[in-house]
């Protein structure tokens, strides 16, 4: 059976295991948290098998094996290696010194993280700034809003200005979107930052005043003689972050620079699956950066960050289940995306964003980029999938990057921030509890975006 025939005949109910995986992430930690901690990988495998076994019966073991290898080798492994590299390297950089968790300091930390995200990736910026944010506010009782806005701004929105910031934009760069084109998203980002920082400042000032009235103060943690000047430890890890950036860029540029990497050249794995040499080069460079970071960073620096591998391990366990079970959803979307009748930018913005909130935003971006390329635009950005009007590309890009903040699984750094916060005894909202925050704050913001930029 051909892959095209599978795409044409796959039933909609094949996404049930994916829905089950998402519901497990949302509900089981609330009902049986200790059991979930021990068995989340087993749950991921169970839902994966509930998709793979019926799929193999219906379409053959060969087709099932092809789809599994395609998802795991070409999508999951590069994804998790990049996250691991940024997690390890950023975990070797510590901001030492005394930071008082006032509203001004918190706004400054959020702004720095948001500004860095487009250049060192949302994962790199989140891992670099999350621990200083937690330490600065260790004196506070009410800290959930800090983590939620950190996810909104640093782990998502800040990554919109370059292809280095978020994987969907890099996929666009690989398909012909100019590197600096993403600067067109700056007006949308600036409007969102003005609104978001205004909301955050009011909310944080309220909680700050509440803490003071209850007898807590940032100065309690700054006793006489204990104040340290701010300084950066492990700054040499910035070299390794540069290595990771070079590795990511190499994946996109090597095929154009040398014939050895051109035309999808790589290691033949199975059927039509080829593991590109360019992707292999990226992985080797990223793992080398992580290895050198581990070997050259002082233990005391990582101890200051309370660095453990638990957050990245949790992400790896959960996302293997997500990547496998979302295979049918992506097949259906790719096969029928052009039939959805979306011809307007606002439709692309919301469709890309809604699916990026629950599916991996990279393949979702690619599907809608391909859909937009098939609309027959005569002016705009010339890509390998066709010419896409600038406003349509802005809508797809903004939807993929911004709406990844809508759920914990919308973007991998979201889960990593949640895990690190919980390691530091901050009680984070449940899956649906977090969505309550995003519905209350982000959805009205995206409605504003729609009226200002996409109608």
Whole-number mean pLDDT of the chain? 87
The CA distances from residue 54 to 14, 76, 384, in Å, are: 9, 22, 35
Among 102-116, 172-186, 222-236, the range of highest mean pLDDT: 102-116
Q: Cβ distance 373 to 48 under 8 Å?
A: no
pLDDT of residue 443: 97
Q: Please enumerate, as own/partner, the contacts of 253-257 that have beta carbons within 8 Å and a separation of 24 or more.
A: 254/278, 254/281
Region 365-385: mean pLDDT is 81
Q: Cβ distance 429 to 436 under 8 Å?
A: yes
- Could you tell me the sign of the dihedral formed by the alpha carbons of 336, 340, 342, 343, in that order? positive
Q: Is the pLDDT at 335 greater than 90, yes or no?
A: no
pTM of the model: 0.82
Helix then strand count (H, E) for the chain reads 19, 6
pLDDT band at 224 (very low <50, low <70, confident <90, very high): very low
Residue 36 buriedness (CB in 10 A; 0-12 / 13-18 / 19+): middle
């Amino acid at each position: 059976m051909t892959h095209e025939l599978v795409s044409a005949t796959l039933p909609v109910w094949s996404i049930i295991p994916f829905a089950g995986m998402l519901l497990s992430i949302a509900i089981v930690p609330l009902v049986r948290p200790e059991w979930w901690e021990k068995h989340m990988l087993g749950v991921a495998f169970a839902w994966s098998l509930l998709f793979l076994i019926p799929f193999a019966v219906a379409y053959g073991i060969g087709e099932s094996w092809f789809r599994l290898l395609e998802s795991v080798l070409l999508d999951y492994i590069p994804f998790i290696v990049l996250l691991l590299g940024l997690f390890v390297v950023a975990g070797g950089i510590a901001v030492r010194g005394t930071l008082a968790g006032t509203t001004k300091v918190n706004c400054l930390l959020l702004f720095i993280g948001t500004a860095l995200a487009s250049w060192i990736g949302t994962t790199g910026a989140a891992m670099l700034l999350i621990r200083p944010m937690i330490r600065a506010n260790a004196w506070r009782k009410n800290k959930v809003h800090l983590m939620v806005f950190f996810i909104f701004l640093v782990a998502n929105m800040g990554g919109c200005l370059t292809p280095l910031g978020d994987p969907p934009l890099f996929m666009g760069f690989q398909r012909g979107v100019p590197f600096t084109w993403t600067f067109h998203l700056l007006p949308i980002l600036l409007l969102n930052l003005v609104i978001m920082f205004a909301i955050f400042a009011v909310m944080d000032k309220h909680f700050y005043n509440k803490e003071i009235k209850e007898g807590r103060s940032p100065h309690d943690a700054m006793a006489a003689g204990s104040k340290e000047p701010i300084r950066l430890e492990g700054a040499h890890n910035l070299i390794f972050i540069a290595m990771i950036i070079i590795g990511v860029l190499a994946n996109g540029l090597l095929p154009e620079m040398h014939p050895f990497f051109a035309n999808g050249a790589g290691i033949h794995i199975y059927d039509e699956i080829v593991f590109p040499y360019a992707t292999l080069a990226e992985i080797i460079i990223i793992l080398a950066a992580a290895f050198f970071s581990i070997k050259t960073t002082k233990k005391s620096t990582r101890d200051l960050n309370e660095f453990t591998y638990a957050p990245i391990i949790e992400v790896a366990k959960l996302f293997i289940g997500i990547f496998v079970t979302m295979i049918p959803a992506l097949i259906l979307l790719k096969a029928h995306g052009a039939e959805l009748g979306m011809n307007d930018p606002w439709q692309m913005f919301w469709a890309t964003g809604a699916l990026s909130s629950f599916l991996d935003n990279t393949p979702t971006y690619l599907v809608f980029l391909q859909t937009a390329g098939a609309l027959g635009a005569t002016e705009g950005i010339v890509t390998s999938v066709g010419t896409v009007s600038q406003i349509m590309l802005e809508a797809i890009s903004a939807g993929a990057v911004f709406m990844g903040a809508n759920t914990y699984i919308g973007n991998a750094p979201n889960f990593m921030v949640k895990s690190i916060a919980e390691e530091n005894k901050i009680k984070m909202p449940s899956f649906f509890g977090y969505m309550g925050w995003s519905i209350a704050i982000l959805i009205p913001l995206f409605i504003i975006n729609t009226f200002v930029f996409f109608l």
